[in-house]
């Protein structure tokens, strides 16, 4: 290790103590239960209002049956859509209990039910109108386009189709994050343009004060949460902190660290393990946020992010000029010591997954020997932050294992050491207390899933395994 790293590395004082024990998990699950009960109660309330309003009594023939289907699917689809929007809005009171990735996973799962309900509503309405008017479906559709509120509803449906289709795995894999982000901005537009026809032509809402009040309250609740947490708070934070790029430091052949300075950094809310969405405030980049973990524990002087070149906008970030303004949104994530329940800890990273692991090693409350760090790299001579994590572990008395070289056979997440031993056997040799530890894992998704399998086989309970991806 170079003497310059030893002399220049600035570390914060680690946490003095941390509350551990299984009761922390129980409290989180209890809060999740309350949130989920409220969400499902809204959906059930919508269904009950439909039934109380005689939703099934008027069915006498095909058109009235289609009308009932149109009504109930519209109500259920809209309720689920509003919940889905809240989940992806990066709202702190949701992120606190589910994490950004957990909320995003649930958001994705709701995508198909929302699509099915809204599609059923649109098609059943179209067919019902066609039968009642004695016209074919095409003529009826063009008739919709001549009525302003129904035109807006048709546009909303088309936009929702685009959003849901681009959320499917095959489409998302083919899209860059920037393209996906731009398309999903239309989700807000689709909801907004659908509102008029719900209030003016929806038979379950129009002319009914109680139902109108409930639906207006739901829309306002979602709208105000999105406006406050996605627009106002980030804008206010960025204005107050006035962050700019102070310097760029090359960490490896494809990785740089961005040091941001500004005002009031001593009041930064982030803790080790969390991430922000960064916006590079240039004419071509300001509208595209990217998620990055902080790579040094907040110290009041600068905020640091270590970014790998992954071929998209991250390539442009490798060569930013000092003085470039940067806006931040966050912090987010549950990959923190707050989720720790055990005395022993194992921190496992691969490649550019090292930033949050490095910050946790720096700030976690621990005695020498309590923490083991495993860092999987392709080449130790070109590994990001390796010298820093070595120095952190040396100063704090933590065990560090740098696993270098090509991956082993049979989808191993470790290197090929020639022993032929399975990953779980090698893991227990590297971290003998793995079954009694909290385990934090950060790296590429497929690699992380492989590590989790080994950790589970080693006897670590699922509630003691922590991983977080920048889901989108």
Q: In whole angstroms, what is the distance from residue 251 CA to residue 257 CA?
A: 7
Q: Is residue 2 part of a domain?
A: no
190 has a pLDDT exceeding 90:
no
> Within this chain, do residues 378 and 352 fall inside the same structural domain, yes or no?
yes
d(CA 425, CA 419): 11
* Residues 6+ positions from 394 with CB-CB distance below 8 Å: 1
Same domain, 212 and 75: yes
pTM (2 d.p.): 0.85
Q: Which of 233, 250, 278 is the last residue of a domain?
A: 233
DSSP-H helix ranges across 88-136: 92-133
Per-residue pLDDT tens digits for 222-273: 999 989 998 899 899 888 999 999 999 999 999 999 999 999 898 888 999 9
Tokens representing 180? 């996906």
- CATH code for the domain in which residue 416 is found: 3.40.50.80
- Checking if the pLDDT of 7 tops 50, the result is no
Rounded Cα–Cα distance for residues 375 and 393 (Å)? 12
* CA gap 68, 53 in Å, rounded: 11
Question: Residue 321 pLDDT more than 60?
Answer: yes
175 and 106 within one domain: yes
Q: pLDDT at position 214, please?
A: 86
177, pLDDT greater than 70: no
Domain that holds residue 97: 53-233
Choose one of 210, 233, 256: the last residue of a domain. 233
Lowest mean pLDDT among 52-56, 61-65, 96-100, 359-363: 52-56
Q: Left, alpha or beta for 134 (phi > 0: left; psi -120 to 50: alpha)?
A: left
> Do 65 and 204 lie in a common domain?
yes
Domain boundary among 215, 233, 251: 233
pLDDT, greater one: 457 or 108:
457
- Residues comprising the chain, all counted: 472
pLDDT beyond 50 at 2: no
Determine contact, residues 426/334, Cβ cutoff 8 Å: no
Report if residue 38 sits inside a domain: no
Q: What digits encode the pLDDT tens for the residues 389-424?
A: 999 999 999 999 999 998 888 789 999 888 889 999
Kindly report, residue by residue over 88-119, the tens digit of the pLDDT.
Answer: 888 988 998 998 888 888 887 888 898 899 88
Same domain, 180 and 312: no
| Number of separate domains in the chain | 3
Count, in order, helices (H) and strands (E) of the chain.
16, 11
| Percent with pLDDT over 90 in the chain | 47
Determine phi and psi for 347, rounding to 5 degrees.
-110, 120
Same domain, 225 and 371: no
The distance between the two most distant Cα atoms of the chain, rounded to a whole number of Å, is 86
Domain assignment of residue 10, yes or no? no
The mean per-residue pLDDT over the stretch 186-198 comes to 72
CATH code assigned at 253: 2.40.30.10
């Amino acid at each position: 290790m170079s003497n310059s790293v030893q002399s220049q590395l600035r570390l914060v004082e680690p946490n003095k103590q941390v509350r551990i024990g299984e009761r922390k998990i129980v409290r989180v699950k209890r809060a999740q239960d309350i949130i989920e009960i409220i969400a499902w109660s809204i959906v059930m309330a919508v269904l009950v209002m439909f039934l109380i309003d005689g939703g099934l009594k008027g069915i006498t023939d095909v058109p009235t049956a289609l009308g009932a289907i149109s009504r109930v699917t519209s109500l259920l689809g809209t309720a689920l859509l509003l919940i889905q929007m809240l989940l992806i809005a990066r709202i702190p009171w949701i992120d606190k209990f589910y994490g950004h990735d957990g909320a995003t996973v649930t958001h994705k799962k709701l995508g198909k039910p929302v699509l099915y309900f809204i599609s059923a509503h649109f098609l059943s309405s179209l067919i019902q109108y066609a039968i009642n008017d004695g016209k074919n479906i095409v003529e009826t559709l063009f008739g919709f386009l001549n009525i302003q509120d129904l035109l807006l509803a048709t546009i909303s449906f088309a936009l929702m189709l685009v959003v849901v289709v681009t959320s499917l795995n095959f489409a998302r894999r083919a899209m860059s994050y920037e393209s996906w982000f731009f398309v999903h901005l239309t989700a807000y537009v689709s909801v907004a343009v659908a509102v008029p026809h719900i209030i003016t032509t929806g038979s379950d809402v129009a002319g009914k004060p109680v139902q109108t009040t409930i639906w207006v309250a739901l829309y306002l609740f979602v709208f105000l949460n999105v406006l406050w947490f996605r627009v106002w708070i980030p804008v206010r934070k960025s204005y107050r902190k006035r962050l700019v790029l102070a310097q760029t430091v090359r960490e490896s052949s494809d990785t740089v660290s961005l040091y941001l300075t500004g005002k009031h950094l001593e009041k930064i809310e982030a803790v080790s393990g969390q991430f922000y969405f960064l916006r590079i405030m240039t004419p071509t980049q300001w509208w595209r946020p990217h998620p990055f973990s902080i790579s040094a524990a907040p110290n009041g002087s600068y905020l640091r992010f270590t970014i790998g070149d992954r071929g998209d906008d991250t390539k442009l970030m490798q060569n930013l000029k000092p003085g470039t303004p940067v806006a931040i949104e966050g912090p987010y994530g549950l990959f923190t010591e707050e989720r720790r329940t055990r005395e022993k800890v194992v921190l496992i990273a691969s490649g550019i997954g090292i930033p949050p692991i490095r910050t946790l090693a720096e700030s976690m409350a621990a005695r020498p020997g309590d923490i083991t760090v495993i860092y999987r790299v392709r080449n130790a001579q070109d590994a990001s932050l390796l010298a820093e994590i070595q120095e952190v572990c040396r100063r704090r008395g933590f065990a560090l294992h740098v696993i270098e070289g090509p991956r082993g056979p049979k989808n191993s997440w470790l290197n090929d050491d020639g022993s032929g031993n399975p990953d779980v056997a090698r893991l227990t040799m590297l971290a003998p207390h793995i079954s009694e530890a909290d385990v934090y894992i950060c790296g590429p998704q497929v690699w992380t899933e492989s590590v989790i399998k080994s950790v589970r086989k080693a006897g670590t309970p699922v509630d003691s395994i922590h991983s977080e991806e920048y889901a989108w």
